Amino acid sequence: MPRPLLATIHLDAMQHNLERARAGARGAKVWAVVKANAYGHGLERAMRGFAGADGLALVEVDYAVRLRELGWTKPILLLEGFFDASDLPVMAQYGLNGSVHCEEQIALLAVARLPHAIDVHLKMNTGMNRLGFTPDAVAGAYARLRAMPHIGTITLMTHFANADEAAPTRLPLEQQMLRFEAGAASIGVPLPRSLCNSAGVLLHHLDSDWVRPGIMLYGGTPSGAPGGTSAQAFGLLPTMTLRSSIIGIQDIAAGEVVGYGSRYEAAGNIKVGVVACGYADGYPRHAPEGTPVLVDGVRTGLIGRVSMDMLMVDLTHVPGAKVGSAVTLWGQGMPIDEVALAAGTIGYELMCALAPRVPVVEATQ
């Protein structure tokens, strides 16, 4: 028998969440973001789950080529653009759109000899200070790109730093939009726009030609912050469920300890369940005592330190729990945002950290 740990991907939930994104996009086209192997879901599954998207967006050139080989014929956007001159012929051959965000990329484009024109997204840095041209420099960047015969459509893009925060202390979305509008006006001609990430789609109403939802497509919320709106309240469904089983039970007395470092001490007589899942499977090692877990559909919590292959839960108040009892680590019945919040991280990280050794299957309809 295989080890009882399994990740199940729900394609119907992916389709549902895409429609939720489209409903919030105010008529904009939708780039479904599938970077990091589609947030751990797999490119081939994402291609089917997001078949209704207007395009797919990611950062890995080789994965973009793989999408073409798998049969994706609609647009593909490289969110970080190209990394080397050798990427440019590949982009032309496979019809890949690319972000242009720095002078070095423009210099490489200027000397490129490409068989086909490529479409680009000109990225503006409106305050996040990660990638992009400042509003003062974007017009010059546009002029140089527009003069190149092998550049097709140019779309203006920016990325929001705090769209998921109701009242950020620094760099509110409104300030970024003012900078964006100033930069756009300096170009002198109207350009298509790509603005909103998941938070922008869910929480703001901006006119745009394209949106770029990511985490919402996978049933998570952008920040998972306390007091924030839950994925369920947004009408989103979990797309990945991580399940395991109880593989051992210990009855221990008050004062006994559990796990590496003996950091958990029982206050009374308790029943400890051992679950076949650990940090080598992608479960966060730093998850603290009380991180929620479902056992036979009953909510309980983590105790002790997460091990490489196992973690322990309190079964004292789970009637009938036994070896073989079903455990849900996150997904259907256990929102991934709750687990991530308890562990001091975000749902993105949990999905992306799913280890290669964990078997992945698709849910049957």
Report the run of H or E that residue 7 belongs to, with start and end: strand 6-9
* 308 is annotated as contributing to ligand binding: yes
- Rounded to whole angstroms, how far apart are CA atoms 268 and 17? 44
- Rounded to whole angstroms, how far apart are CA atoms 265 and 245? 24
- Rounded to whole angstroms, how far apart are CA atoms 156 and 145? 12
91: phi then psi, degrees, rounded to nearest 5? -60, -45
Provide the 3-class DSSP secondary structure of residue 267. Answer: coil
Closest CA to 350 of 232, 209, 227, 240: 240
- Rounded to whole angstroms, how far apart are CA atoms 332 and 335? 7
246 secondary structure, DSSP code = E
Instruction: Given the residues 29, 35, 94, 271, select the one marked as catalytic.
Output: 35
Contacts of 178 (CB under 8 A, 6+ apart): none
- Rounded to whole angstroms, how far apart are CA atoms 325 and 182? 59
Provide the 3-class DSSP secondary structure of residue 90. Answer: helix
* 263 is annotated as contributing to ligand binding: no
Report the run of H or E that residue 210 belongs to, with start and end: strand 210-211
38 neighbors 45 (Cβ within 8 angstroms): yes
Report the run of H or E that residue 347 belongs to, with start and end: helix 347-352
Here the tokens at position 31 are 């780039």
Contacts of 325 (CB under 8 A, 6+ apart): 245, 246, 273, 295, 296, 318
- Rounded to whole angstroms, how far apart are CA atoms 242 and 230? 19
Instruction: Given the residues 260, 271, 283, 348, select the one marked as catalytic.
Output: 260
- Rounded to whole angstroms, how far apart are CA atoms 216 and 320? 36
Contacts of 8 (CB under 8 A, 6+ apart): 240, 241, 242, 243, 331, 360, 361, 362, 363
Provide the 3-class DSSP secondary structure of residue 181. Answer: helix
The answer to whether residue 35 is catalytic is yes
CB atoms near residue 19 (< 10 Å): 12
Q: Which residues are annotated as a binding site for substrate?
A: 130, 308
Catalytic positions, please? 35, 260
